[in-house]
């Protein structure tokens, strides 16, 4: 391993370490996937109040209050809203997200839920 003290600042080393912890945690990986792909419509908090939410009727669902099962969530993420007889504003993600990313995303969605729901 090369010496990094002359290449990276203490802050940069800390950033690398923080990044490595994300790689090991499915919830944190799911949060990254959410904030990269879902936040525009579903909002930073997952409450359906993203910047683009006002463009859709019906508006994006409040994921913090969703009582849908993990199986349902996996299907609607993969197939999109229209395939599930829901809003066509929810695009299908199976071409853009891997199965692992979808699984991590579902793990993250569990952590923002404020209502008990089936798994």
pLDDT tens, residue by residue, 2-38? 666 678 888 988 888 888 887 889 999 999 999 999 9
CB contact set of 31 (below 8 Å; sequence gap of 6+):
108
Taking only the tens place, the pLDDT of each residue in 36-52 is 999 999 999 999 999 99
Q: Calculate what percentage of the chain has a pLDDT beyond 70.
A: 93
Q: State the Cα–Cα distance between residues 93 and 9, nearest whole angstrom.
A: 38
Residues recorded for the chain: 119
């Amino acid at each position: 391993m090369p010496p990094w003290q002359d290449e990276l600042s203490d802050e940069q080393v800390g950033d690398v370490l923080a990044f490595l912890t994300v790689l090991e945690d499915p919830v944190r990986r799911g949060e990254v996937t959410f904030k990269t792909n879902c936040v525009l419509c579903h909002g930073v908090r997952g409450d359906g109040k993203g910047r683009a939410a006002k463009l859709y009727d019906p508006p994006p669902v409040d994921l913090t209050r969703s009582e849908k099962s993990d199986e349902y969530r996996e299907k609607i993420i993969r197939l999109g809203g229209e395939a599930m007889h829901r809003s066509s504003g929810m695009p299908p993600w199976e071409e853009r997200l891997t199965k692992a990313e979808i699984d991590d995303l579902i793990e993250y969605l569990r952590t923002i839920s404020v209502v008990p729901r089936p798994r």
